A and B are shown apart, each in its own frame.
Chain A
Amino acid sequence: MKLSLARQRKRKITYSYLALIPFLVFFLFPLYWMLITSFKPDTEISSLKGIPLIINSAPTLAHYKYILFETRYVKWFWNTLQISVVVTVITMVISILGAYAISRLRFFGSRYFGVGIFCTYLVPPALLFIPFYKVVGILGLLNSKWCLLFLYPTLTVPFCTWILIGYFTAIPKALDEAAFVDGATYIQMLTRVFLPVAAPGLIAATLFAFTVSWAQFLYPLAFLYRDEEKVLTNGIYTTLIRGDVYFWGELMSGALLASVPVVILFAFLMDYYIAGLTRGSIK
């Protein structure tokens, strides 16, 4: 018997969701594992008995208390937040001006500039930290968290500029011209017309810059040694992994707390992020 259109549609949606379950499990399982491990006592974490997928004994907040009160976690969190916010601002200023110039202004070589900027993104950071070490040393910023303000933009600016070039190009040029005819200067046109229209692309670039800065591991590990200068990534790693001893409970609780700001940001801005990444790709 042929099903009605409504029932056919319902069946298709059900199958689609069922097909998504394995992906859901694959991506969410590590987070679940982190969550339950952060509440398991040390004895249960190292025990081979019991069901590992649940908390068998009474959950504990000991790991959270340890990282918050016995380590410099709060200081690392604050350092990470400072650096991420400032780097995001630096990145957005440079990327917006660069992307606008490349997408809107006609100058010699502008066509190739955009491609060139993206190509710099293809250079692996692992190759760059050696010459950067010399540069940071000359600047006298070794072992200072502020050296990251020079290093992180090398990772964030190329990609953000590339996203914004695509996004800006999709905005009709007539909008700029209408603003000029209405009496706007370049800065007024940019701030009062162009950037508000480009908001989804800006949000996408901002999220990217923030996330990269927040989660960056290699550069802090290479350049920051003092506890008070560390950020979350290298702080957690160096303090909670000593030799071959892994403090799993503290590691999981530290990592979970570290992911909260990014999760909150994405929860509110995910739609803009996706729209911003995909919009500029279609003319």
Chain B
Amino acid sequence: MAKVTLSNVCKNFGKVEAVAGFDLEVEDKEFLVLLGPSGCGKSTTLRMIAGLEELTDGSIYIGDKLVNDLPPRDRRIAMVFQDYALYPHMTVYQNMAFGLKLRKHPKAEIDQRVKEAAEILGIQNLLERKPRELSGGQRQRVAVGRSIVRKPAVFLFDEPLSNLDAKLRGQMRVELSKLHDQLNTTIIYVTHDQVEAMTMGTKIVIMKDGFIQQVGPPMEIYEYPVNKFVGGFIGSPGMNFLPARIVAENSKTYVETKSFRLLIPENKVSYIQNHGNLEVILGIRPEHIQDSAFADASSITDTFKAMVEVVETLGAEVQLDVASGEYNLTARVDPRTRAQRNQEIELAVNMEKIHIFDTEPPNQRVVTEKR
């Protein structure tokens, strides 16, 4: 097991800067998720750690060893690819044993490790099959098994669930999390799916255009996004963003959009006033907008009126698309709501959970609390 350190790692493809000034420490036994949209540099970063891409600049350490110039086989890593990359001419057993055979492990040891890994993954009865005879989920398990037998210092996963259907993806998320607990090892996991990141990772690195946007535990990123991009990327449905301005009136401070104004709680006022800039972007997560008839009384809320455009009943909750003036917002409200299309509704915003962002790119978050 090992710590992984990336220091000022850069990767250019010609004039394109795929990864820029990447500094990161992955602690031993951590489940680190690299999360971001397509083209943000997360897979390139993973491939540099694996040794499949050369660094343009910077250094990578696995444990205490500088691995920049080491081939993949000398880095003590194992990798699960997006399309599994199982060897089609080999059986499942041979696929899993291949790496150990290359390293000239004794036959008995290979047999033992393969069978142990197969048992962990529940694929003991598939060992004599070829990959084309397996389902997607089974292939994925074999790919994971091929990595487990090697007992590497670091596991690397490159979007391993992206080729699975939604139901299987959900099952495999649980299994991978359990596997992490069982193996107690360092995992670096790349995905563009924020649900995978939030549910599996102990630490998430959000990337955009080759740069790190934020690093932190899932809930920290969810509750305190450092900028508008992170706020919008995490959470489903995504955060609502409205242009607004901070207005002080009668010793109260409001955040005011073109169609409504909301009272900012006292404990946030001083932080916002220190910010100085009056023009802001207001961010509110859909789950923090409630039907005021069923709003949580213990929260500090303020209300506004909106016209319901779409009502989506999801069982445990109702998702409303509402229009307030020229703005469209999404709200996740209590299923007891009586909201109907083309009717006005009063919505309550949990003012403890609002986010204020700067209007100037990169739209940094205005800190509104003491942490």
Contact = CB atoms under 8 A, between A and B. Distances in A.
A181 B83 contact: no
B50 A181 contact: yes
Contacts of A179: 87, 98
A181 B73 contact: yes
Given A174-B81, A177-B81, A178-B81, A184 B87 contact: no
B88 interface: yes
B83 A172 contact: yes
A183 B99 contact: yes
A180 B73 CA distance: 6
Contacts, number: 59
Given A172-B85, A175-B85, A182 B52 contact: no
B190 to A, nearest CB: 14
A261 interface: no
Interface in B24-69: 50-52
A105 B237 CA distance: 43
Contacts of B102: 182-184, 188
A177 B87 contact: no
A192 B77 CA distance: 21
Give the contact-size bracket for chain B: 20 to 34
A38 to B, nearest CB: 43
Interface string B84-111: 0111110000000011001100000000
A178 B89 contact: no
A174 B88 contact: no
A193 interface: yes
Given A197-B88, A197-B89, A180 B72 contact: yes
A52 interface: no
Interface residues of A, number: 18
A116 interface: no
A182 B72 CA distance: 8
Nearest to B150: A182
B146 interface: yes
A178 B85 contact: yes
B71 interface: yes
B78 interface: yes
A181 B88 contact: no
B79 interface: yes
A137 interface: no
Contacts of B99: 181-183
Contacts of A181: 50-52, 72-73, 77-79, 99
B94 to A, nearest CB: 10
Contacts of A59: none
Contacts of A197: 87-89
Contact of A182 (B82, B89, B98): B98
Given A172-B83, A183-B73, A177 B103 contact: no
B52 A180 contact: yes
Interface in A156-199: 172, 174-175, 177-185, 188, 192-193, 196-197, 199
Interface of A: 172, 174-175, 177-185, 188, 192-193, 196-197, 199
Interface of B: 50-52, 71-73, 77-79, 81-83, 85-89, 98-99, 102-103, 146, 150
Given A178-B87, A182-B99, A197-B87, 5 more contacts: A177-B81, A178-B79, A181-B79, A182-B150, A183-B72
29 contacts: A172-B83, A174-B81, A174-B83, A174-B85, A175-B87, A177-B50, A177-B52, A177-B79, A177-B81, A178-B79, A178-B87, A179-B87, A180-B51, A180-B52, A181-B51, A181-B72, A181-B73, A181-B77, A181-B78, A182-B150, A183-B72, A183-B99, A183-B102, A184-B102, A185-B73, A196-B87, A196-B89, A197-B88, A197-B89
